[in-house]
Structure 1
Amino acid sequence: MAGSAKKKRTRAASRKHRPRGNPQKPHVSGDPRVAAKATFGDWVGAARLRTLPLAITPVLIGTGAAHLVDHLFHWVLALACLVVAAALQIGVNYANDYSDGIRGTDDFRVGPARLTAARKAKPRTVLVVACVFFAIAAVAGLAIAVRTQQWWLLAVGAVCIVAAWFYTGGKRPYGYAGLGELFVFVFFGLVATLGTTWVQVQYLPQEAWFGAVGAGLLACGVLLANNLRDIPQDRAAGKRTLSVLIGKTATQVVYTVFVLAAFAIACVLAQFYPIAWLTLLALLAAVPALLIVWLYRSPQELVLALALTSLTSVAYGAFLFWAFVG
Structure 2
Amino acid sequence: MDSPGLVVKVPAASPGVWLMAARPKTLISGTVPFLVATALAHRHGVSNLLPAVLTFVCAMLIQVGINLANDYYDFVRGADTAERLGPPRVTANGLISPGQVRAGAWGCFGLALALSGGLSVWGGWTVVALAAVSVLIGFAYTGGPFPLGYHGLGDVFVFLLFGFTWVAWGYYGQTGMLEETVWWAAIPVGASATALLVVNNLRDIGTDEKAGKRTLAVRFGARMARAQYTALVALTLVSPVVMWVLGLAGPWVLLALLSLPVAFRPLRLMLTRSGAELNAALGATARFQLVFGVLFSLGLVVGS
Give the TM-score normalised by structure 2: 0.90
Q: Distance in 2 between matches of 1:246 and 1:85?
A: 32
Distance in 1, Cα, partners of 2:15 & 2:173? 35
Where do 1:86-235 residues align within 5 Å?
Answer: 86-107=60-81, 108-145=83-120, 147-148=121-122, 150-235=124-209
2: CA distance, partners of 1:39 / 1:302: 29
The whole-number CA distance in structure 2 between the counterparts of 1:139 and 1:256 is 39
Which string of whole-angstrom CA distances, capped at 9 and with x for unpartnered residues, describes residues 58-111 of structure 1? 1011111112222x4110111112112211111100100011111221012101
Is the alpha carbon distance of 1:309 and 1:253 closer, same or farther for their aligned partners in structure 2, counting shifts above 3 Å? same
Superposed, which structure 2 residues align to 1:14-29 within 5 Å? none
TM-score, normalised relative to structure 1? 0.84
Distance in 1 (alpha carbons) for counterparts of 2:203 and 2:12? 27
Partner of 2:258: 281
TM-aligned CA deviation for residue 50 of structure 1:
1.8
Quick one: distance in 2 between partners of 1:203 and 1:128? 35
Contact persistence 2:123–2:175 (CA under 8 A): no
**What do residues 151-187 of structure 1 show as CA deviations (whole Å, max 9, x unaligned)?**
1332332222122111111222111000001111111
Amino acid in structure 1 at the alignment position of 2:57: V
Q: CA deviation at 1:231?
A: 0.3
1:247 pairs with 2:221? yes
Q: Which residue of 2 aligns with 1:13?
A: none
Equivalent-residue separation in structure 2 for 1:299 and 1:132 (angstroms): 33
Distance 1:155 1:205, change over 3 A: closer
Larger Rg: 1
Matched, 1:306 2:282: yes
| Number of aligned positions between the proteins | 291
Q: Residues of 2 paired with 1:79 and 1:155: CA distance?
A: 18
3-state secondary structure, aligned to 1:105: coil
Higher mean C-alpha deviation, range 265-274 or range 213-222: 265-274
Q: Distance in 2 between matches of 1:229 and 1:276?
A: 33
Please, which runs of 5 or more residues in structure 1 have no aligned partner? 1-32
Q: State the distance in 2 between where 1:96 and 1:85 align.
A: 16
Equivalence for 1:58 = 33
In structure 2, distance between residues paired with 1:173 and 1:268:
34
Matches within 5 A, 1:32-51: 38-51=13-26
Question: How big is the shift at 1:149?
Answer: 5.3
Residue 237 of structure 1 corresponds to which residue in structure 2? 211
Q: 1:34 to 1:299 in 2, by over 3 A?
A: farther
Q: Give the residue type in structure 1 aligned to 2:141.
A: Y
Provide the rounded CA distance (Å) in 2 between the counterparts of 1:156 and 1:58: 14
State the shift of 1:323 in Å.
1.4
Cα distance, 1:254 vs structure 2? 0.7
1:262-316 Cα shifts (integer Å, max 9, x gaps): 10012233554232222122223211001000011x4122112112212222222
1:261 aligns with 2:232: no
